Amino acid sequence: MKIRITHLFLISILFLVGCKSAQVATTSQSKIEISLAETERIISELSSDKMEGREYGTEGYNRAADWVVKYLTDSGVKPFFTAHQDTLTISGKKTANIVGLIGSRDDSKEYILLGAHLDHIGKIKSKTDSVYNGANDNASGVTAVLQLARYLQKTKPDANVIVALFTAEESGLIGAEYLARRMKKADIKIRYMLNFEMIGKTMSIGEDKVYITGFDKSDFAQVANQLLSTQFVHYLSQEVSFDLFRRSDNYPFYQVYGVPCHTISTFDFNNYNYYHELKDEVKELDLKNMNAVINTSATLVERLIQADARIK
């Protein structure tokens, strides 16, 4: 997510979450294990110093992309196009989105799209810590999508699901915009898109809860909470005041397709001080809660598919 830092301080004073229920989460855990150990392994790898802050066009980003491709391949997730890495050139630098497919390629039907941006802001010259590891932003979201991909590949849902890890989000949602246009041009249909962004911290309103951007643009939250029989998806007032809906990779898909496209996040402006800071590292995150959020998200996606849900 791209947010001006000065706003973060201002808005922390104005913190107001629209919590419509104090209900305790009772969501049953997914049948196939999405383990804390695996969540920790993935996010630690993606935000390690050897990935050099994953700035698009760098060796660090390419190393992270190779790791993600291997993860998808090992999980049995096929490429959506001819290869997992779908390359593009931005300002003379070659980079790639990573696009996988669960189910079969059938362009006569609608796909469900799950996404997260893989890139971050790189590194600086410093004698001490020099790498922007981007653990919360957005190794956490990529971890969710990889876990969901592996889970869905095993459970084989009755739907075709595209998983996409985007490049150059931090430079203005460039990778996602490229993919949205490319897919639209090829007449590939999307029913809805769920984008995962900064889910590494526990929301101030409690454990195993998220908010979505564009809350009022569809009935996704109501549908999701009903399918889960718990209040998992919440409203955060700052998503409107900061226009977060337009600040992450859900937005290009919304622009191009006009279907429900939401970003799922737990960063509520009150629970993390290291947005775009060197200290955005794994040790600062709440991995147990993050793993719970991924598990609930897996159950949610599974139930959305089972219910053949149409978000209005």
Distance in Å, CB of 228 to Zn ion, minimum: 25
Q: 165 and 118 in contact (C-beta within 8 Å)?
A: yes
How is residue 102 written in tokens? Answer: 């669960």
Q: Are strands 17-18 and 93-102 parallel, antiparallel or unpaired?
A: unpaired
138 binds Zn ion (CB under 5 A): yes
Does 285 interact with Zn ion (rule: CB under 5 A)? no
Pick the piece of the chain touching Zn ion (CB under 5 A) from 32-40, 68-76, 99-107, 136-144.
136-144
- Count of residues that interact with Zn ion, criterion CB under 5 A: 3
* Strand 233-236 versus strand 210-212 pairing type: parallel
User: Both tokens of residue 70?
Assistant: 């291997």
Contact 168, 96 (CB under 8 A): no
| Smallest distance from Zn ion to CB 41, Å | 21
Output 138 or 250, the one with its CB closest to Zn ion: 138
State the nearest-atom distance from the C-beta of 169 to Zn ion, in Å: 6
If we measure between CA atoms, which residue out of 110, 78, 108, 83 comes closest to residue 97?
A: 83
What's the min distance (Å) between Cβ of 244 and Zn ion?
Answer: 11
Looking at the Cβ atoms of 137 and 208, the one nearer to Zn ion is 137
Structure-block tokens of residue 208: 């195993």
CA-wise closest residue to 117 among 17, 46, 13:
46
Comparing CB distances to Zn ion, the nearer of 173 and 304 is 173
Q: How many of the other CB atoms lie within 10 Å of CB of 10?
A: 11
Site for Zn ion in 114-133 (CB under 5 A): none
Tell me the window of 1-9, 18-26, 27-35, 285-293 that interacts with Zn ion (CB under 5 A): 1-9
User: Looking at 32-40, 135-143, 255-263, 298-306, which segment touches Zn ion (CB under 5 A)?
Assistant: 135-143
Report d(CA 265, CA 194) in Å as an integer: 10
Q: For residue 121, how many other CB atoms are within 10 A of its CB? A: 16
User: Which CB, 170 or 302, lies closer to Zn ion?
Assistant: 170
Minimum distance from residue 116 beta carbon to Zn ion (Å): 9
Q: Does 183 bind Zn ion (CB under 5 A)?
A: no
- Whichever of 1 and 144 has its CB closer to Zn ion, that residue is 1
- Shortest approach of Zn ion to residue 99 CB, angstroms? 19
CB of 56 to Zn ion, least distance (A): 13
Candidate list 55, 86, 119, 137; residue touching Zn ion; CB under 5 A: 137
Tell the residue number behind the tokens 């719970």, with chain if given.
292
Query: C-alpha angle with apex 129: 125 to 135, nearest 5 degrees?
Result: 110
Structure tokens at 29: 């855990």
**Enclosing H/E stretch for 9:** helix 5-13
Nearer to Zn ion, 174 or 227 (CB): 174
- Taking each helix axis from N to C end, the angle separating 59-74 and 140-155, rounded to the nearest 10 degrees, works out to 20
Q: Which is nearer to Zn ion, 55 or 137 (CB)?
A: 137
Contact positions toward Zn ion, by CB under 5 A?
Answer: 1, 137-138
